[in-house]
A = this chain, B = another copy of it.
Amino acid sequence: MQSLNNTYLTRKNQLAARTKVLKALAHPTRLFIVEELEQGERCVCELTEMIGADVSTISKHLSVLKQAGLVFDDKRGNMVFYQLRVSCVLGFLDCVEKVLRSQAEDYAACMR
């Protein structure tokens, strides 16, 4: 039996939960971090050096990713290492790439 309650209002909580994950990915710095973590764990200091922003800024970005459930942290000594929690994010970004390519093709078609 298919529910008829697929309305916006009844789904609002579900939508908000999904949106939280998407929002976390929707920032250049955080996207960079996620893609970097696909290669393996990184400490805050490494990421900070690569990105070239204030450590506090990077720390806050990592906190957003953690809150969204995308990464987890592991404190060793006085350094904190972050790791991806889900491996699917890579394939997931392929779709984004597909969107961008499709857009580029349409643009090219317009120019012809």
Contacts and interface: CB of A to CB of B under 8 A. Distances in A.
Interface in A9-42: 9, 11-12, 15-19, 21-23, 25-29, 31-32
A109 interface: no
A108 to B, nearest CB: 13
Range class of the A interface residue count: 35 or more
A16 B89 CA distance: 17
Counted per complex, copies of this chain come to: 2
Contacts of A31: 15, 18-19, 22
B100 A18 contact: yes
A98 interface: yes
Interface string A68-112: 111000000000000001101101111111111011001000000
A81 B108 CA distance: 24
A106 to B, nearest CB: 8
